[in-house]
Structure 1
Amino acid sequence: MALSALLWGLVVGPAWAGLPTQGTGVFINEGGDVVTARHVITDCERLFVVKDGRVVRGRVVAESADYDLAVVSTPLTPYLSAILATSPHPGSQPVFTESYDVLQSMENRSVQVFNAILVPGRDRLTMMSSVRPGASGAAVLGEGGLLLGLVQERTAKGALGPILLSRSRQPVGQGATVRVRAAPAADIKAFLTEHHIAFMESTRPQLGPAQARAPRAATLSVGLICDARD
């Protein structure tokens, strides 16, 4: 069965039954707009958004190759939308980031405070993380649960170029920690402002220092499925 036919049945029929998503997005405002990495939605004939067992059609309303960012309009009403950090990120701190699919089955989600570490970088956020393919577009949540960035790619010694963490599905050793790059909050805000997409920013923490960030990430996140053009 063609992917488009299967997904059409899921949209109008029974709830989503576990089809793997190929990327992750984050609710960026109360209108249901989702921000993600642009390479997740490139060359999609149809784009589907997965949230809490529901599948809906998504529509790309803004994209930038320079930022590798995109915004997808959805008919969903988010319970919570991300709040971008106003201040630049510190050179190093523990953060939380994970793909939509992994968040759905994470057994210790209610107590997971962080699972990655920011490391000094000159441009985009750089961190040590064990995220797998499917994490492109995932939120990087810092202290207080503020959005510091969005996952875009991983790097590896000897690789000819960046390894995208989306539908390309390059093999990664299970549980291996790798260097991952992300678009920083400053780039996300510049991109959203250029395209007149509403967003919120703040210096005020949304979580206490010991509160788990994984539940917030799960609430903010959606899965993305690209029915690619032949």
Structure 2
Amino acid sequence: MSAAPVVLTIAGSDSGGGAGIQADLKTFTSLGAFGTTAITCITAQNPDGVRGVAPIDPDMVVAQINAVYDAFDVCAVKTGMLYSAEIVSAAASVLKERNVRNLVVDPVLVATSGDDLASGNALETMASELLPLATLITPNVHEAAVLTGKEVSSVEDMENAAKELECRFKTSCVVTGGDLDDADEISNLLCYEGALKRIPCRRVPAVSTHGTGCTFSAASAAFLMLGEDVPTVVEMACNYVASRLSTL
């Protein structure tokens, strides 16, 4: 058993080590948490692109989640790449049964390189079964556009998307703006308890952003289990990502 607080990541494996469960575990360790995993997919990828995806059988995903819960007091959970509707549904079902606490859903749909990371009806199943369980959802502008069915190409669009998703799923939503433009400052738009808050973050120039969404959501889960409120969690996670990028 771990003396450190336990966080579970349910996500895909990145052979390049920059995203997915590899990024999550590095983040948890850096923040003093004990990281556990349920692997949903094995990917062949690097910062340049995704070369292949092999999904894990949904029953095996459930078995991994149950194995962790049976041995540990899981303080927080984050989900990343779930890939298929079957895996989304299986994960959502067991998390609901386990009365999941502090769930951060990173609705991974597309890699930084532009490669698709979801198939079939994964989006619809995520919207109906998983997102309503979340404490915080963390879409980037591309994922927010897919979830809302509307263009998200400005700060105003981000505000509207965050409000719509918070209202629809009855959970806090932060739309991250790192992919929006090349300004020196990144705008992240949080809707929390019906109120909008812009959370700026400095942009670190000339570094690869591969895996930053995974790191942000993993840090958010780690900070949530400390008992911080959601706006504070988002600010802390933004600052953590910027500090990590500045060391590359």
TM-score in terms of structure 2 length: 0.24
Say which structure, 1 or 2, has more relative contact order (CA 8 Å, 6+ apart).
Answer: 1
User: Could you say which structure has the higher helix fraction?
Assistant: 2
User: Could you say which structure has the higher strand fraction?
Assistant: 1
